[in-house]
A and B are shown apart, each in its own frame.
Chain A
Amino acid sequence: MISCSWYPTKLLLLNDDIKIRVSSSCNKYSFCHFSKFKKENIRPDGRELGEFRATLLNVGTINTAHGSALVKLGNTTILCGVKGEFAAPPVNEPKKGYLVPNVELPPLCSSQFKVGPPSEQAQVVSQLIDDIVRSSNLINLESLNIAEGVVLSGGESVYFFCVGTGVAPGFACCWGATKLPERGPKALSKLSWVLHCDMICLDYDGNIVDASLIALLAALKNVLLPAVRIDEDTGRAVTSQEGSIPLKLSCQPVATSFVVFDDTILLADPTKEEEGLATGAVTVVVNEEGDICSVHKPGKEGALYLPRKFMTASGDVSRDLRKLDSWLRKHWRVVKDDVPTGAYDLD
């Protein structure tokens, strides 16, 4: 059940430590250590094989962003902030806007990441999230268009804009026409929203794809963009300070990650140690209708095993999917309806 509790000020990190029930002389990260647990069908942190970690969601905590959400999946913590900016729409698709997701794995979140440009893993996860956003049609990019421009005679869509090279405060808007046509509408502005969705990992303990996607979805649900109108005389965009317009999301994709251990055992929601020891991994993204939006399976291990497990409708799979279903339902319930600002405990 979702219990909604309100934390008006002291809110961001609700650190409910998961107690690790390990008292073993064996090295915690070693394979033999895991093998011991394997016999008992239980994992070192006390979870069952298909069990997910406790999830906490905290929506709308960052006031400087247009929308934000913090997700804790066990220890793994992802903070997503969405910031809207103006830009000219893409030349080939003048009716669209942009959604730019990026996942950051800073050296803050784990000792395995170094200062500097994004690590390979961060690039892979960013690309995966971008693919999911595109393939699931998460958001209709046409709804991010503000002013489309006007088609002049000759069927050519014309727009002129002079853009200052430096972006300084007080920079006047020059989107719009430099030369007004003699007939027809005066304004020729072309303007779209760019939604920069930046997901920062604050604590890296495995399974960041799932956490990132939940954070992204919850943050997008939380977005309120300011209203924009184009001044007809000047062609200049005018906005208000406060956000008022929510986004319309067309679906709710939720990712679920598994790792394969010992080629036969499937572990849901792996921790960092489990990810390190596993022989294969797979991420399945499902929308609320149960359609698969994306499957990501890096590496060759378990290449035969996993597709069989996920793609066919054998009894074994349906059992797994049923487990997955209850997890998805839990998350959909949160990300589905309007999510007011506040903290949520999903368990």
Chain B
Amino acid sequence: MWITNRLAHQSALASLLSVLLGSGTVIAEQKSREQRIADNEVYFSSGDEPPSMDISKQVDSVSSMWLGHIYEGLMRTNAAGAIIPGTAESVSISPDKTTWTFKIRPSAKWQDGVPVKAQDFVYSWRRLVDPAYASEYSFIAITASLVNADAIVSKKLPKEQLGVRALDDHTLEVKLSRPVAFFDSLTSFQVFYPLRQDIVEKFAGSFATDPASLIGNGPYRLARWQKEQSMRIEKSDTYWDAGNIKIKAIESPAMVKDGQANFNNFRTGGIDTTGVSTPEIIRQAQAAKLKIETFQTGCTETLAFNVRPGRLFANKKLRHAVRAGLNRSEYVNKIVGVPGYKPAFRMVPDYMPGSQPGLTYRQEVKSPPVKDFDVPTTQRLVKEYLADTKQTQIPAFTLLFDDSVVAKKMAEYFQHSLSKLLGNEVKVETVPFKTRLQKSRDGQFDMVFFGWCPDYRDPMTFMDLLANNNENNSSGWSSPAYNKLIEQANSEADKAKRVQLFKAAEDILEEEAPVAVTDVSGGALTAAPELKGVKRTIFGFAPDFRAAYWDHK
């Protein structure tokens, strides 16, 4: 190898570099896959550096994934994605569903051996809504309708007035201002994990920045964190359910976001599982005969119309024409090209649970199937539109997209296919991400590509989006009847009645078509054949290694 030969002559350089290398880094020994299987360890790439490991501060997929292994909420998700008791062993709910009383497990312990108390939850939740602390995610407490959360965040009441208190060390009482049917699922969410006041106060500004200052109550404890380089968590013996945790250590030996680099690292045995997230990587995985698993990430993606007066898509017929004629399966299969994505027609995706166990919302409301790529309907509507407006051709309109490589490819596809479908000129404007957000909010577009990911396990997380008080409703669409139904659903304690309210609201969307839903997002991954039980659920964190194990044949 000529590179290494040349380098061999530059020994002075080598020593200079090793001095530099040594100065910033702790050299950690990395194990081969055989060793990892023998020692029950898993290596993967967590992508970006976690922006923060303080549970109340930053909620993003990378931090959530690590914190989900280090902490545990009152409830937790099981392997099937269902909500089951976690640090709480039981919960009782008042008939009006506004008072929830959780019993904390006596066996629940912090990683330094101290028992978990109800007060730890009270402390953590008060910190979340404290305006002086200013957590970006304090709005989740408002969504959850914790009594007074809104007033505390707006500085009208002190944080001690929050509707949560410890009746004794093991009893936590939560008061909600309205019945929140999905409150149990919220308690499995990162910002509702407990915190120890003594630890947070002891470390203050450096809390949760290294293994010494981060003590959780979950199955794993932080063992190593080298910024932008690596992170490692190891099984904690103090966890109440430690007997069911098989993997002894989970490590991201490098923080690499690039899908191709991660795939290369996987192929050479550097990591044990990785996403195969682009058509090109999928092709390579297939060529190498790797097993590909698909999963849903559950975000609804749409083309949102600008319905503001004076805009082209203020015309309902034209909105319906676009919605009917989209070729979603072609878009998903040929343009997105990632298994796991599915064509979709309605805001609330197929997986969303309904009011009865075992039945999804979609099954419960018995939505009729929608025809994809319904060109005759489009042609009829376009003809009607042209006759109504006495025009011979639809005026040109502009699609607003991000300027990323992926988004540009999508924009080109929609430009071409819509122009073909409607027989007019379609322009594309690709702008940086933040400019796109700004323009959407200011209503400076005709049609914008817009995705929405669920915050909680209830159709409301999608239905709420088009209500008039929602800052994210960029279409400018507003319907008093729709708003009223959403308000009613918000205060309805009966789950079955709520579902019917959502159904009625959805009928309005069907009639008005403020957005054309295109697909629901997903992904694909590959893993070492012996690695089993790694979960990716829509509402939990991903990947979830709590039920993972190596299949020692």
Instruction: Tell whether A pairs with B.
Output: no
Give A contacts to B, CB under 8 Å: none
